[in-house]
């Protein structure tokens, strides 16, 4: 996928309306994933504009253990501490086409018990409670 600069083109109402509808419908496909992550304590936002895609990821005290993995995944040069108690990593994904910012509580501010709890929750087996299935 190549991100192209915004250039005004002649507009056909039917085609443009269908394109707008498709973009909005595609956004609905992400809704469940974003909501599932939010239940875990990870907030994700994605902004798509002509010429750029940016993603923001915010971790809470229970998911701060994900920070090292995310920092390596987005190729961030390291952490900065913009204010007391907060860590931030800025990097890119998809060969530099998507800018990503990850914010989290400063890992040094999170107790070892909180990290252990977060790790145990992440490693806990997932149970399927669908009707007719054993948990």
pLDDT for position 12: 73
pLDDT tens profile 35-47: 999 999 999 999 9
Whether 52 and 99 have beta carbons less than 8 Å apart is answered as yes
Considering only residues 66 and 2, tell me which one the structure prediction assigns the higher pLDDT.
Answer: 66
**Average pLDDT value for residue range 98-105:** 90
Q: Model-level pTM?
A: 0.67
**Average pLDDT value for residue range 89-114:** 81
pLDDT for position 132: 46
């Amino acid at each position: 996928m190549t991100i192209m600069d915004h250039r005004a083109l002649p507009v056909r109402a039917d085609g443009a309306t269908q394109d707008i509808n498709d973009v909005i419908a595609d956004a609905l496909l992400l809704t469940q994933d974003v909501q599932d992550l939010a239940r875990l304590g990870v907030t994700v936002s994605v902004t798509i504009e002509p010429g750029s895609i940016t993603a923001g990821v915010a971790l809470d005290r229970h998911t701060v253990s994900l920070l090292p993995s995310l920092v390596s995944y987005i190729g961030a040069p390291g952490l900065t501490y913009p204010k007391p108690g907060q860590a931030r990593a800025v990097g890119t994904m998809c060969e530099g086409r998507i800018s990503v910012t990850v914010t989290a509580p400063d890992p040094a501010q999170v107790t070892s018990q909180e990290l252990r709890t977060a790790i145990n929750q992440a490693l806990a087996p997932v149970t399927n409670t669908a009707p007719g299935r054993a948990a």
